[in-house]
Amino acid sequence: MDTSTALQLLLLPAGALAVAGVARWRGWSAPLLLVLAGLVASYVPGVPSYRLDPHIVLSVFLPPMLYSAALDSSYLRLRDARRPVGLLAVGLVLFTTVAMGFAAHALIPQLPLAAAFALGAIVAPTDAVSAVAVGRKLGLPRRALTVLVGEGLFNDATALTAYRVAVGALLGGAVDLLDASRQFVVAAGAGVAIGLAVAYVTGAVLRRLTDPLIANGVSLLVPYAAYLGAEAAGASGVISVVIVGIYLGHELSRTSYGTRLLSGAVWQVVDLVLESIVFALIGLQVRPVIGGLTAEPLGTVVTYAVVLFLLVVLLRIVWVPPAIYFPRMLSKRVRAREPKTPPWQNVVLTSWAGMRGVVSLAAAFGLPENFPKRDLLLFLTFAIVIGTLIVQGLSFPWLIRKVGVSTARERYADDLAEAGAQQAAAAAALARLDELTAEGVHEVHEEVVDQLRTRAERRAMHAWERLGGGTGPEGEETPASLYRRLRREMLAAEREVFVRLRDERRIDDEVLHRVMQELDFEEATLERG
């Protein structure tokens, strides 16, 4: 690789990070600004031509991005929301694929029906990155965020499977839908099995690693191992990665404190870099995509794009309310399992959070060169992705404010649950301290015990207020090292209580993550003491 090629490769991430930095500094939507910046840059003379390689996107960029999102999600909340998540990640994707296919074929008669279904599958999956980021910042209710995260994690697998069936039907003749459904079930099931196997082995390794750098180095390899292993076995790599991320995210509290502290920073950096490059790449494709349109008048193509964009937005609005409310009306089991009716605000926001992303473009660029109307499908995909990012992306924060959602009740419930958990954890820590001092193995300094008791009691009191090294001569343990040793034992006892209360559903995962981080920071200061 010569120097000029290396500089071109460096220019993309450097420029993308610069734009992302401006967006974060100004409080703007980073994905949208990156796409617009890439779009403008594609017409600037001298800017290198960057081609979006679908194989690199799907095998290099997608696994860590999916894994990071899954790692940050909540297994328990996703399990509770499995019905709406399934209706969106599977039902809505298939509904969009079929409806868009028939509509595109009717609008563009020269487009074969199988090619039209391929277009439907390409634009069916949503990218929840920007919606979730905005929702968290502006206080979108936890249930709505969980549904959007779950949809974003699982809908790629459904869409890519439908995409392969449609492409295969066009290039290889008719495809038996029953056989295609069987292939999807087998691929998904195998993906789950491989993901669980990778997760179990990785979890056992991470629990035994005490070096945070090595542990997080291993975690960087996990999404690729899950994805490539599943794909090599003919299974769904996407589902495999998601399962690994959800499992390890649930088990993260059982790794060392150093691993947890470093893990958050590592994956934030990975997310920032990869998402910045990906969204910049989307914008940079505008010039080659438009340049490939030679067989159709631009005005006609733009009309196709506007109509299909509006249809994509409308299909989600048509699907979401019935999918959420009708099962509750028709099934007593659903009402018993989900006693709280989703507020209309959540339904409205979920209906509008339909931004598309890089998976759609990667699938479009992955169409074979001899695919009918390939250039037209590329343009339509690009127009729909950009349209959803601009129209829905810009209006989503306004809509959140307009419908007046609030997380004040959730925050109060979290603070109340945390206060009770902190008190229970403090009691466990003090009980452990009493056991250690009663053993009498080491000389215990009363001032050290008093400090430890005060520290534990202060932590419990702080939660309620939120609502309204070495050895001495001859190996003798010094007061400072005794303090650190006993406090670490107390912290371990507190962690056990918090994890148990999470598993018993008495506190939420967000509460667990928050208090675990506080305990981890305290243990880190003990190591430096």
Q: How many CB atoms lie within 10 A of CB 231?
A: 19
Q: Are residues 334 and 400 in the same domain?
A: yes
Q: What one-character-per-residue DSSP string does 345-410 give?
A: HHHHHHHH-----HHHHHHHHTS-TTSTTHHHHHHHHHHHHHHIIIIIHHHHHHHHHHHT---HHH
Rounded to a whole number of angstroms, the CA Rg of the chain reads 26
**Last residue in a domain, options 372, 406, 440:** 406
Q: What pLDDT score does 257 carry?
A: 81
* Average of per-residue pLDDT across 121-135: 80
Q: Are residues 392 and 435 in the same domain?
A: no
**Last residue in a domain, options 406, 433, 459:** 406
pLDDT for 310 beyond 80: yes
454-497 pLDDT, tens digit each: 777 777 666 665 555 444 444 555 555 677 788 888 888 988 89
> Torsion-angle region of residue 81: left (phi > 0), alpha (psi -120 to 50) or beta?
alpha
Q: What pLDDT score does 469 carry?
A: 45
Q: Are residues 203 and 325 in the same domain?
A: yes
User: For the chain, first and last CA: distance in Å?
Assistant: 48
pLDDT for 422 beyond 80: no
Q: Find, among 143, 138, 100, 92, the residue nearest to 118 by Cα.
A: 100
Question: Which one is predicted more confidently, 34 or 129?
Answer: 34
* CB-based contact 513:499 (threshold 8 Å): no
Q: What pLDDT score does 289 carry?
A: 79
* CB-based contact 31:277 (threshold 8 Å): no
Q: Find, among 203, 215, 196, the residue nearest to 260 by Cα.
A: 215
Q: Distance from CA of residue 32 to its chain's centroid?
A: 18
Q: Are residues 343 and 462 in the same domain?
A: no
* CB-based contact 408:322 (threshold 8 Å): no
Number of domains composing the chain: 2
Task: Give the least confident one: 198-202, 368-372, 483-487.
Answer: 483-487
Q: What pLDDT score does 471 carry?
A: 45
Q: Are residues 350 and 313 in the same domain?
A: yes
Distance (Å, whole) CA 81 – CA 336: 14
Share of the chain above pLDDT 70, in %: 88
Query: What residue has token string 């839908």?
Result: 177
Q: Are residues 248 and 292 in the same domain?
A: yes
CA distance to 277, 288, 369, per residue, from 284 (Å)? 10, 8, 20
99-125 pLDDT, tens digit each: 999 999 999 988 888 899 999 999 999
Structural domain range at position 161 = 3-406
* CB-based contact 299:55 (threshold 8 Å): no
Question: Which one is predicted more confidently, 257 or 96?
Answer: 96
Q: What pLDDT score does 227 carry?
A: 94
Average pLDDT over the chain, rounded to an integer:
83
With H, G, I as helix, E, B as strand and everything else as coil, classify residue 237.
helix
Q: Are residues 51 and 134 in the same domain?
A: yes
